[in-house]
A = this chain, B = another copy of it.
């Protein structure tokens, strides 16, 4: 069909730029929250799909399986148990809403609390998708620097005081406290308590994004900020994307009813995918607790491969703190490296990376930093991809100075 109709005059102001056509994943893909395909619990999911469909597949004829807008009840029941066991959260199925991935959670929380011109506080380095959403909504986003224990409370305190003196009440403090994205830190319990004090003092709720919290190497994590709250001023979100499989698009929100009832009014999608909720609930109840340690062990091994490859290829030119869990490594390259340019050159060579400025409110601080996701590529792809990346970086920026793979691999 020849498309001669001109839609352009009909587009409203402020629409984002059109998407380019999909051209597939890079040969060496270190981006996106993709997981290790070998760790998808395939037999368990197949068994769960069979069981769930046999047991109650006919209920697919009814929107939301007739379990209401908060989602499939057995999945909420599993989450009540899991959140208590892992994160110390005491909640009921009524405090939980199943959503289409934690991205829908971000949208629902934002749409419930934010209006153009509002101010929110985030971690200086944080999830790109959250920053993009805030930009699109016209929000003033203030980034608080991080240290090895996460968001710095001294800077947060002075920022809140400063904002208050200017009559500005931020709408929330957004944090990824348990395996911070992209830095991989875990906020200790004492700092969580300090954050809660500041939240209460200034009347600013905490938006706790725990989507990576299952993937902690030690298997031990502090209680969720939501669990520690005395006043209920915390919205907590999580996901099955990192623990089971991202393509499923199942996440959840735990929130007080005041906020939950507002988010429900905005969730006009007639429910999130029911088959996926049924399969997850059926699989997770017996298997989640044993699946996660096996997954994290595999991820930890890939992280080791990545760190080895970086040491081998970049030598001292690549600096990083070992993350305490998760699927990504936050890397500092020498100051002369512009990772936005490196991103373009690397992509042309078949390697995709996340340039630091896209994951930070501080373009100066992040200009020579990058995020590398290690869950999806194989060990061999990690080694090969880092070698290609080092070659590209050397050609573009002169670092690393020597060809690590030649010297070390033959040593």
A411 located at the interface, meaning its Cβ lies under 8 Å from any Cβ of chain B in the complex: no
Q: Would you give 27 A-B contacts (Cβ < 8 Å), ordered by A?
A: A1-B90, A5-B205, A5-B229, A7-B113, A7-B233, A10-B169, A12-B118, A15-B112, A15-B265, A18-B258, A19-B69, A19-B264, A22-B70, A33-B63, A33-B270, A46-B57, A49-B53, A59-B247, A60-B247, A60-B248, A100-B249, A104-B269, A107-B268, A133-B268, A247-B275, A250-B273, A273-B275
A268 CB contacts on chain B under 8 angstroms: 103, 107, 129, 132-133
In the complex the two chains form, what is the Cα distance from A379 to B121 in whole Å?
Answer: 56
- Given contacts A270-B101, A272-B249, whether A112 and B57 have CB atoms under 8 Å apart is no
**Cβ contacts A52-63/B at 8 Å (1 or 0 each):** 011001111111
CB atoms of B8 and A258 under 8 A apart: yes
A248 CB contacts on chain B under 8 angstroms: 60, 273-275
The secondary structure that dominates the A interface is loop
A376 located at the interface, meaning its Cβ lies under 8 Å from any Cβ of chain B in the complex: yes
Within 8 A of B (CB), among A120-144: 129, 132-133
A269 CB contacts on chain B under 8 angstroms: 100-101, 103-104, 249
In the complex the two chains form, what is the Cα distance from A101 to B54 in whole Å?
Answer: 24
In the complex the two chains form, what is the Cα distance from A35 to B58 in whole Å?
Answer: 10
A62 CB contacts on chain B under 8 angstroms: 25, 32, 34-35, 37, 246-247, 376
CB atoms of A61 and B46 under 8 A apart: no
Interface size class of A (residues with CB under 8 A): 35 or more
A66 located at the interface, meaning its Cβ lies under 8 Å from any Cβ of chain B in the complex: yes
A171 CB contacts on chain B under 8 angstroms: 10
The 5 closest A-B pairs by CB, nearest first: A3-B232, A5-B233, A22-B68, A273-B273, A18-B261
Chain B: CB-nearest residue to A279: B275
A222 located at the interface, meaning its Cβ lies under 8 Å from any Cβ of chain B in the complex: no
A36 located at the interface, meaning its Cβ lies under 8 Å from any Cβ of chain B in the complex: yes
**Cβ contacts A353-385/B at 8 Å (1 or 0 each):** 000000000000000000000011000000000
In the complex the two chains form, what is the Cα distance from A133 to B266 in whole Å?
Answer: 11
CB atoms of A115 and B34 under 8 A apart: no
